Amino acid sequence: MFPTKSDTDSAVDRFDWLSVTLLLGGVLLCYYLLPLASLLLSQPPAAILGQTTEPAVVSAASTSLVSATASVLVATVFGLPLAYWLAAAEGRSETLVTAIVVLPLVLPPIVSGMVLLTLVGPGTVLGDVAAAKGVSLTRSLIGVVLAQTFVASPFVVITAKAAFESVDRNLEYASRTLGKNRLTTFRRVTLPLAWPGILAGITLAFARSIGEFGATIMLAYYPRTMPVQIWVSFTTLGLEEAFPTAVILIGIAVAALVFLTTLGRNPLAR
Amino acid sequence: MTLTLSGLSKTYGDFELGPIDLEISNEVFCVLGPSGSGKSTLLSLLAGTADPNRGSLAVDGRSMSGLPPEARRIGLVFQDGALFPHLSARENVEYASENPEYVSELTRLLAIEDVLDRRPANLSGGERQRVALARTLASEPDVLLLDEPLSSLDEPISRRLRGDLDRLFETLDVPVVYVTHDQRTATALADRIAILRDGAVAQVGTPTDVLEHPASRFVAEFTGNENVFEIRIGTDENGRHGHVGNTALRSEGESGALPWLDSPSAVSAVTVCVHPSRIDFREISSSEKPAYQIPVIVERWLHENDTYRVFARVAGGPVLTATMSRMAFERLEFSRGEETTATIPVDSIHVLERVTR
């Protein structure tokens, strides 16, 4: 006698699990989109347009764009080599270094700002040496970039590490047995194959930088970035005055993300 | 070109490969061994993707010690091809060479001209291996290594590519080291075979040496020789004689002679092997080479590709396996349970182990 499936098993098999995943995912998607839509619809276009010519908002927008771009560049230049090393390394050292990289992600941003102040703030060795050379590491664009890089660069390292790990090691070996050195192999094999993952990390880091508030306000209240400007508007003029600026920040962030996404062509697609 | 391995060894945890001493000239040298015997580790040491713990490697006297893979001029065809998935077949081959004429020649030689614009994902298994081979040859290596390139292919494709490889190897003037677990591939392609077991070389020789004169029971069984059995040695008034099961071994012309038993005095039994192709089922004349005539019962047979494998039991003894062509098999007109005589040439008995009293 062969065992037969129970009625319950058959009912489970018939149940459309894909619809359930879609339903649950859809609820979360609505939770992302509805507040944004609500904010956009609540703001009269004239108020938003009026803010786009406001000198303080224009200045904050340009500071945010420049600092986020600089932070992502710094994170990429220093983060990719570390990610590549982590992807190739094995054992305890890799685990330890990965934990260090993740640390800024788990710290509250305001604590990150405080930590940075103890390193580069006024009265510290680094802060004083830089100040003596006429470079201010706080209350400056450099300060903003330092704060954003600290909190955003782990996204580049962690995501790029995963992207490098996904590249078959034998492809790199194959390249090298064909007479290509490590650098050429990296440039022509590893990087193109890992690029979509790396770009995802860059995009996340940019998004994190442009929205960074806690560490930035501790390290560099001036020049104001968009989040700081929104906070200033909120605390001095009230919530209603802060909303149009928030809409502009959302617009800048979305435009930047769309631009970055266009760079991420899948190397395997033709 | 000569590839020289001197005491080459590598340890991974509990596993140790070597020390291996080999000298490989412009020949096809197959490394044959089961999974986990160290074949891939050996290739990694030769290609430079892993460093040995001890020993050295040289190509024409040029030491490879400490040289990275890119400086060795040792090409490796990977098991799955390891083609760059973001490049077309043409770009893969051109990656290794800036000489367009040579690339064209190779693509023609390996019959991949029609698939050059395809990405690896759109190539069949056989096409992928041909492109991988073209790419490795395009780098003009001093030594060519191949890591089981046929293992993932279907039998008909594998057989065709094996034939093509055989023709290709004849045109190459470099040492070719071909790693495989497949005895048929090794014997079809190799000038010499090294049998690898648990990281050590168990035997090196020509395919005929290895198949007909295996150095150990392991080599015999691994190379597909099923005829490993015991012959008991006894003494009577005519001198020493052997028994397989209930059958006394007699040979035409030299009855009772055991010429393969070089030191008979204290030996009570021997384990021997006979290659299946050396066993026949026909009457022999006295003018032929001495042979044992052993009564057997035909139990069954298998039709494998172009050959027949016949299993025949010796009374009270082992089942002997004989391979033969279809024509030879049909001529015998066997029926199951039929009593017949197996003929084993005396010189095809190969002693593996001796049991002393």
Q: Could you read off the pLDDT of B96-155 as tens digits, one per residue?
A: 998 888 888 888 888 888 899 999 999 988 889 889 989 999 999 999 999 988 877 777
Q: Which of A78-87, A151-160, B244-253 has the lowest mean pLDDT?
A: B244-253
Contact criterion met (CB below 8 Å) for B334 and B282? no
Same domain for B212 and B233, yes or no, is: no
Res. A13 pLDDT band, cuts 50 70 90: low
> Are both B21 and B161 inside the same structural domain?
yes
pLDDT-derived band of residue B156, with 50, 70 and 90 as boundaries? confident
Instruction: Report the chain A residue with the minimal C-alpha distance to residue B47.
Output: A177
Is residue B171 in a domain?
A: yes
Mutation target to probe the A interface, by most A beta carbons within 10 A, among B40, B41, B46, B49 is B49
Mean pLDDT score, A87-109:
88
- Judge if B319 and B255 occupy the same domain: yes
Write down the pTM of the prediction: 0.77
CATH code (residue B340):
2.40.50.100
Return the percentage of chain B with pLDDT > 90, whole number.
Answer: 22
- Name every chain A residue with its beta carbon within 8 A of the beta carbon of B76: 173-174, 177
* Tokens encoding A138: 């706080």
pLDDT digit string, tens, across residues B303-355: 887 789 999 888 888 888 998 888 888 888 888 888 888 888 888 888 888 77
Query: Would you say residue B223 lies in a domain?
Result: no
Task: Give the contacts of A246 (CB within 8 A, at least 6 positions apart).
Answer: A39, A230
Select from B69, B74, B86 the Cβ nearest to the Cβ of A268: B86
Nearest to A178 among B68, B96, B119 (CB): B96
Give tens-digit pLDDT for A102-149: 999 899 999 999 999 999 988 899 988 998 898 888 889 999 999 999
Domain boundary among the residues B177, B195, B217 is at B217
8 Å CB contact of B86 and A174? no
Average of per-residue pLDDT across A20-32: 92
The dihedral sign for the CA sequence B227, B233, B238, B239 = positive
Question: Tell me, what's the pLDDT at A158?
Answer: 93
One domain, residues B209 and B120: yes
**CATH assignment of the domain containing B48:** 3.40.50.300
Say which of A178, A188, A268 has its CB closest to residue B135: A178
A102-109: long-range contacts at Cβ-Cβ below 8 A with a sequence spacing of 24 or more?
A102/A154, A102/A158, A103/A154, A104/A150, A104/A151, A104/A153, A104/A154, A105/A151, A105/A154, A105/A155, A108/A214, A109/A151, A109/A212, A109/A213, A109/A214, A109/A215
A174 touches chain B (CB under 8 A): yes
- By the 8 A CB rule, do A260 and B111 touch? no
Q: pLDDT by residue (tens digit) across B196-225? A: 988 888 899 999 888 888 888 888 888 878
Task: Indicate whether B233 and B98 sit together in one domain.
Answer: no
Residues B13 and B129 in one domain: yes
Point out the domain boundary residue: B198, B217, B236: B217
Residue B212, in any domain of the structure: yes
Look at residue B320 and tell me if it is in a domain. Answer: yes
> Does B198 share its domain with B309?
no
- Inform me whether the C-beta atom of residue B118 falls under 8 Å from chain A C-beta atoms: no
Q: Name the domain boundary from B157, B192, B217.
A: B217
CA distance B319 to chain A (A): 39
Would residue B222 count as lying in a domain? Answer: no
At B176 the pLDDT is 92
Is B240 among the domain residues? yes
The arithmetic mean of pLDDT across residues B254-268, rounded, is 66
Q: Kindly report, residue by residue over A166-196, the tens digit of the pLDDT.
A: 999 999 999 999 999 999 999 999 999 999 8
Q: Is B36 on the interface with A (CB under 8 A)?
A: no
Instruction: Name the B residues in 134-153 with CB < 8 Å from any A CB.
Output: 135-136, 138-139
pLDDT of residue B265: 66
Name the band, by pLDDT with cuts 50, 70 and 90, for residue B37.
confident
Question: With 60 as the cut, is the pLDDT of residue B256 above it?
Answer: no
Q: What integer pLDDT is reported at residue B182 of this predicted model?
A: 85
Which residues make Cβ contacts (< 8 Å) with residue A125, sequence separation at least 6?
A: none
Q: How many domains does chain B have?
A: 2
The per-residue pLDDT for B255 is 46
Q: Are residues B297 and B335 in the same domain?
A: yes
Give the strand order in the sheet containing B192-197. Answer: B74-77, B143-147, B176-180, B28-32, B192-197, B200-205
pLDDT of residue A29: 94
ipTM entry: 0.78
- Within-domain flag for B141: yes
Q: Are residues B125 and B259 in the same domain?
A: no
- Indicate yes or no: CB of A192 within 8 angstroms of CB of B86: yes
Q: Let me know whether B62 and B177 are in one domain.
A: yes
CB B74 to CB A179 under 8 A?
A: no
What is the per-residue pLDDT for B264?
56
Domain residue limits at B116: 3-217
Q: Does the beta-carbon distance from A173 to B119 stay under 8 Å?
A: no
Same domain, B200 and B345: no
| Six token digits for residue B350 | 């190969």
Q: What is the mean pLDDT of residues A232-245?
A: 85
**Highest mean pLDDT pick, A86-90, A203-207, B305-309:** A203-207
Q: Is the pLDDT of residue A266 over 70?
A: no
**Residue B151 shares a structural domain with residue B25:** yes
CB atoms A177 and B84 under 8 Å: no
Is residue B291, in this structure, part of any structural domain at all?
Answer: yes
pLDDT, residue A190, reads: 94
Residues of B in contact with A183 (CB under 8 A): none
> Which has the higher per-residue pLDDT, B170 or B286?
B170
